[in-house]
């Protein structure tokens, strides 16, 4: 199982000191946090994509990923998320294949629609077509990574005639894709259709909602013939803040919670901790709470934590990473591994995908498989019929 952190790159005033970091300081802090994540033994560092204040998460994540690839050796570099709705699939195909080469394969992506409404008109898109954009754009991206001389037409961009995206994916193996969503069943359907991963944000909603979304994805993953439901590739987000004892953790985190843009003025910290996966307490409490996620989503492959937000100073975030890497993740690895059945796969990596391809006798550097086949039950493709997914929740 993979453990890591994801950053949304917010520039928020520290409510305790009154200090607001500069954009330069926050960008440099992001690099320091990613390097620390590798140092303490985490598997993944993921960065969001934003195009507006108060965020400095890169508008073009491959820039940050390329820089981190040169400064790290082992950690997987991911996105959280890549905006599949407002980015050109041609540009995504080329940019992420390029950084995949620079990182020697240590790259994967989380596709998402984003949660900032104005981003759509900024890029000439209509938010009312968000789902349709996500479906069409990813269909093209999926094809561009697997085929040369692509001829294609759709509703939302100009047609392509015999186009080949360059560079080609490393070893002919595209980056693994997770589809991230908080509330859209159509995105769970899309992930299942392609046999890709499904990442549930798992932050602001109660566990019952997460359970419903993951269940839908698992059912549809099996429906499309990619394996049994419990073999579907699931990732979860989460938020934690730790101290040696829970009283100190709550006392230290409360001013950040109370003044954070996404929390302030809403439910109390205690209510939020009770009704969502937010965990503020001792390392042991974080271990126990995280292990409980398996009770309602089943065995899963990736757990990412949000830790550098709400104005927390860099020193505090690095201390949190020490606790996570030294006291929490080693226990979680052992416990999750002991509970996981042998037939449930690990999270895909470039190395594992390449090994699987070689085991199947496929030549390295050749195009990978074409688009998924027609749904054998309904006779249609997910792109043509996923609007009905909501009714299955």
The pLDDT, as a whole number, for residue 120 is: 66
Res. 364 pLDDT band, cuts 50 70 90? low
The pLDDT > 70 percentage for the chain reads: 90
CA distance 2 to 283: 18
The answer to whether residues 255 and 311 touch, using CB atoms and an 8 Å cutoff, is no
The pLDDT, as a whole number, for residue 8 is: 84
Give residue 3's Cα distance to chain centre: 12
CA distance 329 to 323: 9
Interval 10-27 mean pLDDT:
93
Average pLDDT, the chain: 89
The pLDDT, as a whole number, for residue 134 is: 87
Interval 14-22 mean pLDDT:
95
Residue with more model confidence, 40 or 259: 40
Look at the chain and report how many structural domains it folds into: 1
Q: Which domain holds residue 318?
A: 2-392
Residue with more model confidence, 174 or 369: 174
Q: Is the pLDDT assigned to residue 378 strictly greater than 50? A: no
Q: Is the pLDDT assigned to residue 372 strictly greater than 80? A: no
Q: Is the pLDDT assigned to residue 377 strictly greater than 60? A: no
Interval 234-252 mean pLDDT:
95
Domain containing 11 — which CATH number?
3.20.20.30
Question: How buried is 352 (Cβ within 10 angstroms: 0-12 exposed, 13-18 middle, 19+ buried)?
Answer: middle
Q: Is the pLDDT assigned to residue 387 strictly greater than 60? A: no
Is the entire prediction scored with pTM above 0.85?
A: yes
Interval 288-308 mean pLDDT:
96
Give residue 371's Cα distance to chain centre: 22
The pLDDT, as a whole number, for residue 106 is: 98
Q: Is the pLDDT assigned to residue 370 strictly greater than 60? A: no
Q: Is the pLDDT assigned to residue 261 strictly greater than 80? A: no
Q: pLDDT digit string (tens) for 147-182?
A: 999 999 999 899 999 999 999 999 999 999 999 888
Q: pLDDT digit string (tens) for 103-144?
A: 999 999 999 876 666 776 777 777 787 788 889 999 999 999
Res. 392 pLDDT band, cuts 50 70 90? very low
Residue with more model confidence, 260 or 139: 139
Please write down the HEC assignment for all residues of the chain: CEEEEEECCECCCCCCCCCCCCHHHHHHHHHHHHHHHHHCCCCEEEECCCCCCCECCCCCHHHHHHHHHHHCCCCEEEECCEECCCCCHHHHHHHHHHHHHHCCCCEEEEEECCCCCCHHHHCCCCHHHHHHHHHHHHHHHHHHCCCCCEEECCCCCCCEEEECCCCCCHHHCCCEEEEEECCCHHHHHHHHHHCCEEEECCCCCCHHHHHHHHHHHHHHHHHCCCCCHHHCCEEECCEEEECCCHHHHHHHHHHHHHHCCCCCCCCCHHHHHHHCCCEEECHHHHHHHHHHHHHHHCCCCEEEEECCCCCCCHHHHHHHHHHHHHHHHHHHHHHHHHHCCCCCCCCCCHHHHHHHHHHCCCCCCCCCCCCCCCCCCCCCCHHHHHHHHHHHC
Interval 264-270 mean pLDDT:
85
Q: pLDDT digit string (tens) for 197-212?
A: 999 988 888 899 999 9
* C-alpha count within 13 angstroms, C-beta hemisphere, residue 242: 26
């Amino acid at each position: 199982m993979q453990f890591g952190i994801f950053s949304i790159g917010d520039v928020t005033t520290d409510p305790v000191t009154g200090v607001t970091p500069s954009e330069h300081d926050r960008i440099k802090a992001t690099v320091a946090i990613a390097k620390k994540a590798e140092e303490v033994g985490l598997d993944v560092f993921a960065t969001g994509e934003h195009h507006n204040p108060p965020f400095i998460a890169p508008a073009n994540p491959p820039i940050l990923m390329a820089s981190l690839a040169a400064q790290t050796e082992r950690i997987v570099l991911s996105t959280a998320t890549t905006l599949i709705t407002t980015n050109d699939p041609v540009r995504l195909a080329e940019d992420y294949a390029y950084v995949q080469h620079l990182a020697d394969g240590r790259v994967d992506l989380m596709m998402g629609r984003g949660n900032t409404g104005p981003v759509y008109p900024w890029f000439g898109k209509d938010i009312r077509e968000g789902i349709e954009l996500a479906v069409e754009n990813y269909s093209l991206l999926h094809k561009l990574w697997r085929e040369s001389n692509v001829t294609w037409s759709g509703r939302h961009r100009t047609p392509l005639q015999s186009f080949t995206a360059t560079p080609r994916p490393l070893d002919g193996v595209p980056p693994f894709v997770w589809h991230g969503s908080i509330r859209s069943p159509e995105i769970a359907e899309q992930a299942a259709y392609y046999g890709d991963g499904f990442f549930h944000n798992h932050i602001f909603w109660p566990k019952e909602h997460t359970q419903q979304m993951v269940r839908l994805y698992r059912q549809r993953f099996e429906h499309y013939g990619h394996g049994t439901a419990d073999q579907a590739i699931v990732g979860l987000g989460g938020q934690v803040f730790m101290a040696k004892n829970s009283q100190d953790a709550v006392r230290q985190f409360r001013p950040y919670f109370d003044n954070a843009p996404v929390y302030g003025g809403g439910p109390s910290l205690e209510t939020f901790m009770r009704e969502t996966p937010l965990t503020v307490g001792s390392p042991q409490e974080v271990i126990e709470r995280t292990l409980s996620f398996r009770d309602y989503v089943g065995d899963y492959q990736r757990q990412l934590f949000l830790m550098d937000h709400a104005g927390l100073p860099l020193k505090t975030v690095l201390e949190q990473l020490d606790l996570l890497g030294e006291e929490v993740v080693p226990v979680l690895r052992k416990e999750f591994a002991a509970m996981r059945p042998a037939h449930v796969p690990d999270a895909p990596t470039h190395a594992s995908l390449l090994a699987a391809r070689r085991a199947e006798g496929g030549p390295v550097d050749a195009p990978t498989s074409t688009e998924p086949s027609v749904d054998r039950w309904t006779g249609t493709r997910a792109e043509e019929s996923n609007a009905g997914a909501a009714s299955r929740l």
